[in-house]
Amino acid sequence: MSLTESIGKLHDIEEYQELHWAGTFDEYLELVKQNPDVCRTSFQRVYDMVLAAGVKEYVDNKKRIVHYDFFDDGPGGGKDAIFGLDIPLMKLVHVLKAAAYGYGPEKRIILLHGPVGSSKSTIARLLKKGLERYSRGADGAIYTFDWVIKNDAGDEELIPSPMNEEPLKLIPLAWREKAIEQLNAARSKYGIKIKGELNPHCRFMYDMLLERYDGDWASVMKNHVRVRRLVFSEQDRVGIGTFQPKDEKNQDSTELTGDINYRKIAIYGSDSDPRAFNFDGEFCVANRGLIEFVEILKLDVAFLYDLLGATQEHRIKPKKFAQTDIDEVIIGHTNEAEYNKLLNNEFMEALRDRTIKIDIPYITKLSQEIRIYEKDFSNERVNGIHVAPHTLEVAAMWAVLTRLGDPKKHNLTRLQKMKLYDGKTMAGYTQDNVKELRKEASSEAMSGVSPRFIQDKISNALVAEKGGATHINPFIVMNSLESGLSSHSLITNEDEIKEYRDLLAVVREEYADIVKNEVQRAISADQDAVSRLCANYIDNVKAYTQREKVRNPYTGRDEEPDERLMRSIEEKIDIPENRKDDFRREIMNYIGALAIDGKQFDFRTNERLHKALELKLFEDQKDTIKLTSLVSNVVDRETQEKIDVVKSRLIKDYGYNEESATDVLSFVASIFARGDAKSSA
C-alpha cells in the first residue's frame, strides 16, 4: 500500500457522504416531518448547541449558578476555555433562550462589554467554532438548496442559493400555514416558523421557472430544486461572518450587504439583474448562522442604518434591490472606552436601544484566575523549565487584587476580601456578608490588570531563565511583573502604578506566609496529628463554652477544660486573652451552623484554626530540626539528614524540584532567622 493510500484511509468516507447529502424537495419535506429541528432559526440552533454540550448546577453564596460545559471548549482540548465567568455566561445563555422562543431579544444586538483581555473575543470564537462542529453532527443538521438549470450545451448546471436559504421558504407565503400543519410541527419544541421571503436572486429564479411551467409549483420543485446538507465554515464563509472595522476612509457598507459584479452586467445586460449581484457581504454570508462584529462601536455611522435594519427587522438593503430577509445571531464586543463614547453620542441612540449589553468582567476568584495560567504554563507545557509551586498563584493573586476595590465596611483588607470571594471562610463572616460585598462593588472587575499582561510577564520570566536556571519561582515572576508596570501602555497614571506596586508588596508578604506554612507542614507532615490536636481542642472548647468537664481518655476521669492547651493554640493566631471567649463561641457557632445545613466540621475549611493547629504542631516539633542553621551554612550531619527528609517531602508532596525546594527552604530559614534575631534583641 502506498503512503498516499495509507493517508487516504484516514478519510471517513461515510461522514463525507453524509455531510454532502443531496436530495429532492420532497425528500427534504420528509426529513422535516421526521425531525422539525432541521429548520430551526439561528438563535434556536445556537441555544440548543450550548445546551447539548452539558449543564451543571452549583450554589455559590446562596445563589444557584448554572455552568455550561460548552464554554469549557472540550472538543478543542480546552484551548479557548472560559474560567470564572459562569454568571455573565448565564446571562448570555438566558438571552439566547429568550431569543430562541421569540420573546424579543432576537431583535437585538448582543453586545459583550468589558475591559481588554476579559474573554469577549474568546466567547465569540467559541460560538463560531461550536456552530461549525454542531452543523456537522446529526443534532445540528441544516439544509439549503440549489437551482438545477440546463445550460446552452444541454447539461445540468447547479446554481446555489447565494444566501443558503431555508428550503421551506420556497413555499409561498399564502400556503405556509397549511403546509406547516402537514409537517407535524407539534413535534418541535419551538414550532416550525417559516419567516421572510426569498432573496432577490432566488426570487428571480423562482419567478422565471414558475412562468416556464405555467404556475405549476410542484413541477418546479420536482425538476429544478435540489436540497443539500449545509456545513458552516468560517474559513469558507458559510454561515459564519466576521466584520472588523477599518479606518474611516476605507469603510464601505457593501462589505456587509454585497456589491454589483460589473463583469456580469455584460452578460445579463443590467446592474439591477440579481444574477449580476454578489450576495457575499458579511450579512449575506452569515445568514442562518452567526455574525461577529469585532470592536462593533468603531463602526462608521454610515453602517448604522444597515445594522439597525438587520437587528430589528431582520432585513438588509443590498444596492439596487428590495429589502432582503436574513436570519442570524448578531454578536459584537467592545471595551469600556468605546462604550462610553457610545453613551455620549446622540447619533447612536437608536443603536443603544437595540442592544442587549452583557458585561464580561475580569475574574475575581483566585482559583479560577490560576486556571488561566495553568492552561499555558503548567509544568507539562513548559519545556525544560520547572515552574515552582505558587509561581502562577502569586501572579494570579496580584492580578485579582488589582481588580478589586477596597471594602467600604466590614473592617476587611483587600486580601481578605479576595479570599472570601474565593470561598474561604473567615470567623465572623457569612455568605450574606460576601453577597453584600459584591453588591456594594457592582462595577468591580471592570478595571485592573488583564490576564494578557500576566501571561506576557510569565513568558518573559521563562525566556530570561532559559540561560541556565532550571526553574522559575514566585520572586522571579513578581520582579518581572513589577518591572513591566513602567512600560505598560494602559497603566500610565502614577498613583495607579504606586497602588499596583503596593499590592505586589502585599502579595510578597502573603507568599512568605504561604511557604512558611508549607515548610512547617513538611516538618510536622502529619495530618493525623493535626486532626487529633483539633479534636482535642474542640472537645475542650465545647466543654468550656457549655461550662462542662472533659473526660480524660487515659484516666477515664472528668477534668476541667485544658486552658493551657487552648491558649497555646489561640496565641498562634494572635487571639488576646480578653477575646478568647468570643473566639471560642465563634468556633462553636460555626460548627453549629454547619450541622444545621447537614455538613460536618472540617478544620481545613476554617483557615485561621487550621493555621493555628499547624503552628502549634510545628512549635512542638521544630526543635528537632534546626532549620536556621541553613542560613549560617554550618549544618551537622544529623541536621542535614532531617533537612533532606523535609526537602524530599516538599518535592514529593508539594511539587517542588531539587533546586526550588532548596531555594524555598533557604528563604523560610532566613525568615526564622530574622524572627529569632528580633526575639533575642
Alpha-helical regions (H) of 22-85: 25-34, 42-52
- Sign of the dihedral through C-alpha 362, 514, 611, 506: negative
Angstrom distance (rounded) from CA 407 to CA 387? 33
What stretch of H or E contains 165?
none
Backbone angles phi, psi at 147, to 5 degrees: -90, 135
Q: Which residues pair with 242 in a beta bridge?
A: 292
Written as one letter, the residue type at 182 is Q
Closest CA to 472 of 399, 377, 401: 377
- Sign of the dihedral through C-alpha 32, 35, 38, 40: positive
Q: Cell 411551467 identifies what position? A: 213
By three-state DSSP, how is residue 129 classified? helix
Angstrom distance (rounded) from CA 407 to CA 429? 13
pLDDT of residue 486: 81
Q: Which residues pair with 333 in a beta bridge?
A: 112
Residue 38 exposed, middle or buried by CB count within 10 Å (0-12, 13-18, 19+): buried
Angstrom distance (rounded) from CA 619 to CA 602? 22
Contacts of 539 (CB under 8 A, 6+ apart): 550
Q: Work out the angle between the directed axes of helices 25-34 and 217-224 (0-180°, nearest 10).
A: 100
Contacts of 333 (CB under 8 A, 6+ apart): 111, 112, 113, 114, 120, 121, 123, 124, 292, 293, 294, 295, 296, 360
pLDDT of residue 677: 43
> How far apart, in Å, are the Cα atoms of 504 and each of 124, 308, 483, 660?
33, 47, 11, 21
Angstrom distance (rounded) from CA 402 to CA 363? 11
Closest CA to 661 of 670, 669, 651, 653: 651
Angstrom distance (rounded) from CA 586 to CA 566? 14
C-alpha cell at 106: 432576537
Q: Could you tell me if 283 and 328 are in contact, meaning their C-beta atoms sit under 8 angstroms apart?
A: yes
For strand 386-387 and strand 471-472, is the pairing parallel, antiparallel, or unpaired? parallel
Closest CA to 144 of 114, 164, 171, 121: 164
Contacts of 217 (CB under 8 A, 6+ apart): 172, 210
Contacts of 648 (CB under 8 A, 6+ apart): none
Closest CA to 116 of 491, 496, 449: 449
pTM of the model: 0.84
Q: Could you tell me if 198 and 170 are in contact, meaning their C-beta atoms sit under 8 angstroms apart?
A: yes
pLDDT of residue 681: 38
For strand 386-387 and strand 109-113, is the pairing parallel, antiparallel, or unpaired? unpaired
Backbone angles phi, psi at 259, to 5 degrees: -145, 165
- For residue 191, is it left (φ>0), alpha (ψ between -120 and 50) or beta? left
Contacts of 637 (CB under 8 A, 6+ apart): none
Q: Could you tell me if 325 and 287 are in contact, meaning their C-beta atoms sit under 8 angstroms apart?
A: no
- Sign of the dihedral through C-alpha 88, 91, 97, 102: negative
| Residue 36 DSSP class | G
- Sign of the dihedral through C-alpha 453, 455, 456, 461: positive
Closest CA to 231 of 19, 70, 61: 19
Closest CA to 478 of 416, 405, 417, 388: 388
Largest CA distance in the chain: 110
- For residue 505, count other CB atoms closer than 10 A to its CB: 11
C-alpha cell at 412: 476587611
Q: Cell 469558507 identifies what position? A: 236
The low-confidence residues of the chain, meaning pLDDT below 70, are 185-186, 247-251, 380, 410, 465-469, 524-526, 621-636, 674-681
pLDDT of residue 365: 94
Backbone angles phi, psi at 222, to 5 degrees: -70, -40
What stretch of H or E contains 270?
none
Q: Could you tell me if 199 and 163 are in contact, meaning their C-beta atoms sit under 8 angstroms apart?
A: yes
pLDDT of residue 316: 93
pLDDT of residue 680: 40
Q: Could you tell me if 386 and 377 are in contact, meaning their C-beta atoms sit under 8 angstroms apart?
A: no
Closest CA to 52 of 142, 120, 137: 137
pLDDT of residue 69: 97
Q: Cell 457549655 identifies what position? A: 546
pLDDT of residue 678: 44
∠ CA 231-234-238 to the nearest 5 degrees? Answer: 45
Written as one letter, the residue type at 317 is K
pLDDT of residue 519: 84
